[in-house]
Structure 1
Amino acid sequence: MTSQAIDVHEELADARAGGFHWRLGAIMGLLTLFDGYDTFNPAYVIHYVAAPWGLKAGQAGLLISSGLVGFLLGAALHGVAADRFGRRGTLLAGLWITSIFTLMTAVLANSFVSFCALRLLTGLGLGVLLPLATTYINELAPRRVANTFALWGVALGWAAGGTLAGVVGVFATPSWGWQSLYWIGSLSFLLLPFMHLTLPESPKFLAIKGRVTEIREMLAKLRPERAHIYATATVAADTNQPSGNLILELLQPRYRRTTIAIWATAFLSLFCIFGLSGWIPTVMIARGETFTASFGFGALMQIMSFVGSIMLGHLVDRFGRNRGLLGLWWALGGCAVLTLVFLNDHVVNITCVAAAGFFIIGAQFVLNNFTSAAYETNVRATAVGMELSVGRVGAILGPFVAGALQQNYQSSLPMFISIGVAALAAGGIILLAGRTRVAVAAERLAEPSAA
C-alpha cells in the first residue's frame, strides 16, 4: 500500500482545536502566568523600599527596569537557541533560571544594588518564557482561530499573573513585606517537574529537523481522527532550513519592511506598558487614591488587557485586517492616557486605566501573534524574540523616563503625555508592516460570508 505524503504545516493549520491543543495551551498559560506575575512585581516593591533605600524617582525607575535589561538579553539570545536546538529545552532552561533567581531575590535582596542585580539575572529567564511560549503556541494554532487560540493560552496566563501580583501587593505585602511577592513567585519550582514530564517539542521544529517518528506521534495527538494516516505517512521535507545569521535574516528584503515596523511598534508599545504599569500604583496615590485602590489599578490593567486582547484577536481572526485593527487599538489607548492629563477624578482614573490596559496591552499581545505569523518556521522564534528584545529597550526606558519626568516636573502629567503620544505613534507605525500569511488566509475565509 502506498503511503500518503503529508505537509506538517498544513496538517496543523487545518486542524480543529481539540483537547490536546488546549492542554498544551494551558501549559503555556502557566508559564506566562509566572512571567506576568514576576514582571510586574517591582511596581509594588517601590512603595516599601523607596524611603529605606533612599531612592529618588529616577532610581526607582531603574529598580523597575533592571529586570527588563535581563529580559532584553534573554529574549534576544533565546530565539537563536530555540531555532537551532529546540523549543522544549529552551523553555525549560528559562523556567529554571526564573525560579532560581526569584527565590534568591526573596532571600538575598536587601539593598538597591543587590535587588537590581538579582532582577537582571531573573530577567534572563523571563526573556525566554513569554516570547518562546508565543512562538510555541502559534506553531500549534489552527488557522481559523490562530489569534484567539494563542491569546487564550498566552495572554490569559500573563494577564492572570499580572493580576495576581496586584492582589498579593494589596493583601500580602502589608503583613509580610515586599519579599512575600517573591516567595510566592518562587512557587514556579512546582511547575518544573510537570513541565519536564509533559511538554513535547514543537511539531514544526521537528519537521525542520526531520524527526519523522516524533512528528507522527505528535500529529496523532493533535488530530486523532487522522492517526491511521500518520502511522504510515511520508512527511514532506521542510526545505526552508535556517542558514547563516538568523537575526540578519530578519533584515533581508523579503522581511525588512515588516521587521523594522514591528521593532519600532514594539519599542513604543512596551515603553507605554511598562512606563504606565510600573508607576501606576505610586502615581494614583499622588492623585488622591487610597493605598488599596492605587495597588488595585495595576490588577485592573491586567484584567482588562486580557479582555482587550481576546476581542482584538477575535476581530483579526474574523476579518484578517490585523494592521488596521492594531493601529486602532493603540490610538484609542493613547487617547485614554492623554485624558488623564486633563481630568483627575476617581471614575475617570478607573475608566482611563482600564482602557489603557484594554487597548495598549491588549494590542501588544496580538502584535506578538502578528510577528509569529509574519515569519517562516526557521526564523520564527528568533523573530518573536527580537521583537520583544527590541521592545524591552522601550520597556527599560519607560519606567526610567516616567520617573525622571516626575522628578524634574514634580507632576505625573508629562509622564502621561509621553505615554499617550507614544501609543498614538505605535498605532501609526504598525500600518507600515506587511500583511501576515494568517491575515491573508483569514480574509479569504471571510469573503464568502461577506458576499
Structure 2
Amino acid sequence: MVAIFRQYRYNKHSDKTGVNICVKMEENMDIISRLEQVSVSRFHYKLLVMTGLGWLFDAMDTGIIAFVLPVLAKEWALTATQVGVIGSIGLFGMAIGAVLAGSAADKWGRKAVFAVTLLIYSIATGLCGLAWNYESLLVFRFLVGFGLGGELPVAATLMAEYSPAASRGRFIVLLESFWAGGWLAAALISYLVIPYYGWQSAFFLGSVPALYVFFIRLAVPESIRFLIDKGRQNEAAAIVSGIEQAAGIRPAAQPMAAAKTDMPAAAGTKIAFSELWAAPLAKRTILLWLIWFGIVYSYYGIFTWLPSLLVKQGHTVIKTFEYVLIMTLAQLPGYFSAAFLVDRIGRKATLAIYLAMSAVSAYCFGQAGSAEVVLFWGSLMSFFNLGAWGVVYTYTPELYPTRIRAFGSGWAAAVGRFGGILAPVIVGYLITGPEGFAQVFTMFTGVMLTVAVVVWLFGEETKSRTLDEISQ
C-alpha cells in the first residue's frame, strides 16, 4: 500500500513567459489522467480496507451508545428526554467536527485529518466508560461526536479521489458497508459483554481503534488531487508512479534528486463559505443539504432509539439485542445491492428507490405487532436505509471540485447532523404518548418519502463521469 516515492521531472521555463505555467498545467492533467487510467487493482482494494476499518470503528462507537442507553437509563433513572439529549449531543459534536475537519482536510490533507479525528473519538469513547454522571457523559459524547463527524466525510473524499470513474460508486458504497460491520461488532459487544461486565466495559473496548492510527500513517497515501491543488506535483507523480508500477501497466518515473521544482500553491487558497453558493454549486449544495438532513434525521432517530423503543414495547433487553443484531445483519445485503446498482442505474435512481422503500418499511414497522413482523419489517428498513446511506456518501464528494471537496462534503454532513440532533429529542417526546411507537415511524416515513421525491426531481446524475468532468 505504501507508495514507492519517486521524483517527477518537468521542463524548466521562465514563469515570466507563461510557458512554464502551461507546462505545469499539462503535467497536472497528465498525472490525473494516469491515475484515472489505472483500472481497479489491489491498490484500490487495500485503500478500501484501510479507510473502511476507520468507518467500521465509527459505526461500532455509534452502535455501542445505542445499546448502552436502555441499560444506562435504568441504572441512572434517566427520563426519555435525557436519553434523547445523550443521543443528540454526539450529533452536535459531529456537526462541528464535520465542518472543521472538512476545512482542515482541504488545507492540510485528507490523510492527516483522517488519522487525527479517529484518534480523538477513540480516546473520547474510552473516557465515556469513566463517566460518573449524566453531565460528564454529555461532555465525553460531544468529543466522540466531534471526532466521528470529522472522520467520515474525509475518508469518503479520499476514497472518491482514488477510485476509477466507472467503479467509483461501487467503491464508496462498499466503504459505507463497513458501517454494518461496526454495528455488528457493537451488537456482539453489547450482547456478550454488557450483561456480564457492565456498560463501562463496552466503552473501553470502543477506545481500541486509537491503535489503528499508526497503521493509517504508514499505509494510507495522501490524495493525488489534493497534492496537485497544493502545488506538490512531485509527490503526486511519485505516488501515481508507485501505483502504476504495482499494477504493472507502465514503468515508474525515474527518481530525481531535487524536489524543489514543485509548483507553488495557487494564490488565494483560503476557502470561503460563499463558494458553496456560487453557480453551479448552489443548486448542488441545497440538494445535498436536504438529502443529508433527511437521511440523518431518520437514521439516528430510528437506530439510536431502536433498542430502547423495543424495550418499551415489552421486549427484554437480551431479546432486544438479539432483534437489533438480526436487523443489523440485513444492512450488509443492503449495501451490496446498492453497490451493484449505483454504477449501473445511477446514483439518482438508486438513492430515490432505496429511500422510498425505507419509508414504506418504516411505516409497516411502526404498525407491527408480533415479534416476527417486527423483525421482518425492521430488517427491510435496515436493508434499504443503509443502502441509501452508501449512495449518499458516493454522491456528496462527487458534486464538489477538489479545492473544496472535503469542505463542501463536511458542510453537507454537518447540516445532516443537525437533523440527527433534533430526531432523538423529538422521538423522546413522541414516544411518551399512547400511540407513540406508531407516530414515531409514521413521522420517519414522511421524511424519507419527501427526500426521495427531492432526489428524483432535482438530482444530477454523476454515473461514469470523472470528478473533473462533474466539477466543470
Shorter-chain TM-score above 0.5: yes
How many percent identity over aligned positions? Answer: 28
8 Å CA contact retained: 1:305, 1:358: yes
Distance 1:230 1:383 in 2: 34
CA distance 1:66–1:2, shift in 2 (3 Å): closer
2:82 corresponds in structure 1 to 59
Q: Deviations over 1:219-255 (max 9, x none)?
A: 123222345264489x998999875544321111211
Q: Which runs of 5+ in 2 are unaligned?
A: 1-8, 12-25
Q: Deviations over 1:159-184 (max 9, x none)?
A: 21111111111111000111111111
Q: Deviations over 1:236-293 (max 9, x none)?
A: 9899987554432111121111210111111111111011101111222333434333
For normalisation by structure 1, the TM-score amounts to: 0.90
2:387 corresponds in structure 1 to 362
Distance 2:250 2:236 in 1: 11
8 Å CA contact retained: 2:97, 2:145: yes
Distance 1:102 1:9 in 2: 39
User: Are residues 1:182 and 2:203 paired?
Assistant: yes
CA distance 1:251–1:238, shift in 2 (3 Å): farther
CA distance 1:43–1:242, shift in 2 (3 Å): farther
Distance 2:367 2:127 in 1: 43
Report 1:374-393 matches (<5 A): 374-393=399-418
Distance 1:30 1:332 in 2: 28
User: Are residues 1:204 and 2:225 paired?
Assistant: yes
2:134 corresponds in structure 1 to 112
8 Å CA contact retained: 2:93, 2:146: yes
Q: What's the secondary structure of 2:305's corresponding residue?
A: helix
Alpha-carbon shift at residue 393 of structure 1 (Å): 0.7
1:449 corresponds in structure 2 to none
Distance 1:441 1:81 in 2: 24
User: Are residues 1:127 and 2:149 paired?
Assistant: yes
User: Are residues 1:312 and 2:333 paired?
Assistant: no
User: Are residues 1:286 and 2:308 paired?
Assistant: no
CA distance 1:111–1:66, shift in 2 (3 Å): same
8 Å CA contact retained: 2:91, 2:142: yes
Residue among 14, 20, 34 paired with 2:37: 14
The structure number with the bigger radius of gyration is 2
Give, as a single letter, the amino acid of the residue that structure 1 aligns with 2:374: N
Alpha-carbon shift at residue 135 of structure 1 (Å): 0.6
- Greater helix share, 1 or 2? 1
Report 1:225-374 matches (<5 A): 225-228=248-251, 230-231=253-254, 243=269, 245-320=271-346, 322-374=347-399
Alpha-carbon shift at residue 425 of structure 1 (Å): 1.0
Q: What's the secondary structure of 2:431's corresponding residue?
A: helix
8 Å CA contact retained: 2:305, 2:424: yes
Alignment RMSD (CA, Å): 2.6
8 Å CA contact retained: 1:259, 1:433: no
Q: Which runs of 5+ in 1 are unaligned?
A: 445-451
Q: Which moved more, 1:358-367 or 1:300-309?
A: 300-309
User: Are residues 1:191 and 2:212 paired?
Assistant: yes
1:448 corresponds in structure 2 to none
Report 1:71-220 matches (<5 A): 71-107=94-130, 109-152=131-174, 154-220=175-241
Give, as a single letter, the amino acid of the residue that structure 1 aligns with 2:221: P
2:23 corresponds in structure 1 to none
Distance 1:169 1:134 in 2: 28
CA distance 1:18–1:418, shift in 2 (3 Å): same
CA distance 1:14–1:434, shift in 2 (3 Å): farther
Q: Deviations over 1:47-79 (max 9, x none)?
A: 222133221111111111111111111001111
User: Are residues 1:222 and 2:258 paired?
Assistant: no
